[in-house]
Amino acid sequence: MKKTLNIVVTPPINGISRIKLNEPSTYNALSSKTLKSLINIFKSLNNENKTKVIIIEGSGKGFSGGHDLKEIRSLKKKLKYKKLFNLCSKLMLEIIEGEKPVIAKVHGAAFAAGCQLVASCDLAVSSDDAIFATPGVNIGLFCSTPMVAVSRKVNRKKTMKMLLTGDPINAAYAKEIGLINDHYPISKLEDEVLALAKKIASKSNLTIKIGKKAFYKQLEMPLRKAYQYTSEVMTKNAMELDAEEGILAFLEKRKPNWKNK
């Protein structure tokens, strides 16, 4: 187990690496230092062969309250604000563009940039009592960067209501609108998240890498172009050893022996 600043990183066990935001006194605020550390951690895990799935969670009472408002208040200058918000955007892009699937394990509150982090993860599972919000409007600072992530998971009207009111939503509604995949009693959350991560980690690393990249790339394309692109991706994928092994294993009714090639 490694601790970098206020983040605990657990090396891969069964292909699953874990990141824990560990600054409960600030509700796991996404300060500049924390953002920089997270970017480096995700880069490292994305380049590590032993890691197949990444779980990110928060310690203490909740997941993350978003940016450190004390830090924001101290910045004052335009270039410093821009640097902070660019750092946050860089982290979200590292998660989306990284090779490994990322699961957000959420309890308590995920607000503002914390909600953005949840929305940026490939999958998100929460406790039944988790709450989510983009409350920037309440303090005169509209959640414009969190809006990017949330609006790509939730439809426009529902996203706009979250942004314009700043009101929190509960886990059941977050699942209904597509912000999270599922929610469970807090006592079962760890087991459910781990079961999901293990299932994904059991697949071909290479196939997951190909699929994740293609998924996000095709989302931004017109329909015809998306089909052209994904047809090319599937053709290349079909030529890989793992596709040959997977199909053969299915026909022979046995478990595949992935080579990640």
- Looking at the structure, tell me whether residues 78 and 125 fall in a common domain: yes
- Looking at the structure, tell me whether residues 241 and 191 fall in a common domain: no
- Whole-number Cα distances in Å, 12 to 23, 48, 117, 125, 211: 22, 10, 21, 20, 22
pLDDT band at residue 139 using 50, 70 and 90 as cut-offs? very high
Looking at the domain assignment, is residue 104 inside a domain? yes
**Number of other residues whose CB lies within 10 A of the CB of residue 189:** 21
Of 162, 186, 201, which residue is a domain's last?
A: 201
* Tokens 């190909």 belong to residue: 210
Predicted pLDDT of residue 158 = 97
- Looking at the structure, tell me whether residues 242 and 193 fall in a common domain: no
User: In the chain, what percentage of residues exceed pLDDT 70?
Assistant: 98
**Number of other residues whose CB lies within 10 A of the CB of residue 76:** 8
- Looking at the structure, tell me whether residues 180 and 215 fall in a common domain: no
pTM: 0.95
- Looking at the structure, tell me whether residues 196 and 210 fall in a common domain: no
| Average confidence (pLDDT) over 118-142 | 97
Predicted pLDDT of residue 4 = 55
Looking at the domain assignment, is residue 256 inside a domain? no
- Looking at the structure, tell me whether residues 157 and 180 fall in a common domain: yes
How far is the C-alpha of 63 from the C-alpha of 5, rounded, in Å?
A: 17
Q: What is the pLDDT of residues 62-89, one digit of tens each?
A: 999 999 888 888 887 888 889 999 999 9
Long-range contacts of 45-49 (CB under 8 A, 24+ apart): 45/17, 45/19, 45/98, 45/100, 46/94, 46/98, 46/99, 46/100, 48/12, 48/17, 49/205, 49/260
- Looking at the structure, tell me whether residues 100 and 122 fall in a common domain: yes
**Residue 164: which CATH number?**
3.90.226.10
Across the chain, mean pLDDT equals 95
- Looking at the structure, tell me whether residues 150 and 231 fall in a common domain: no
Looking at the domain assignment, is residue 152 inside a domain? yes
pLDDT band at residue 20 using 50, 70 and 90 as cut-offs? very high
Predicted pLDDT of residue 5 = 63
| Total tally of structural domains belonging to the chain | 2
- Looking at the structure, tell me whether residues 190 and 209 fall in a common domain: no
**Number of other residues whose CB lies within 10 A of the CB of residue 85:** 16
- Looking at the structure, tell me whether residues 225 and 124 fall in a common domain: no
- Looking at the structure, tell me whether residues 179 and 53 fall in a common domain: yes
pLDDT at residue 189 is higher than 60: yes
Predicted pLDDT of residue 203 = 95
pLDDT at residue 3 is higher than 60: no
**Residue 228: which CATH number?**
1.10.12
Q: Which domain holds residue 244?
A: 205-251
Predicted pLDDT of residue 183 = 98
- Whole-number Cα distances in Å, 46 to 93, 102, 120: 13, 10, 16
- Looking at the structure, tell me whether residues 81 and 100 fall in a common domain: yes
How far is the C-alpha of 230 from the C-alpha of 242, rounded, in Å?
A: 18
Q: What is the pLDDT of residues 99-113, one digit of tens each?
A: 999 999 999 999 999
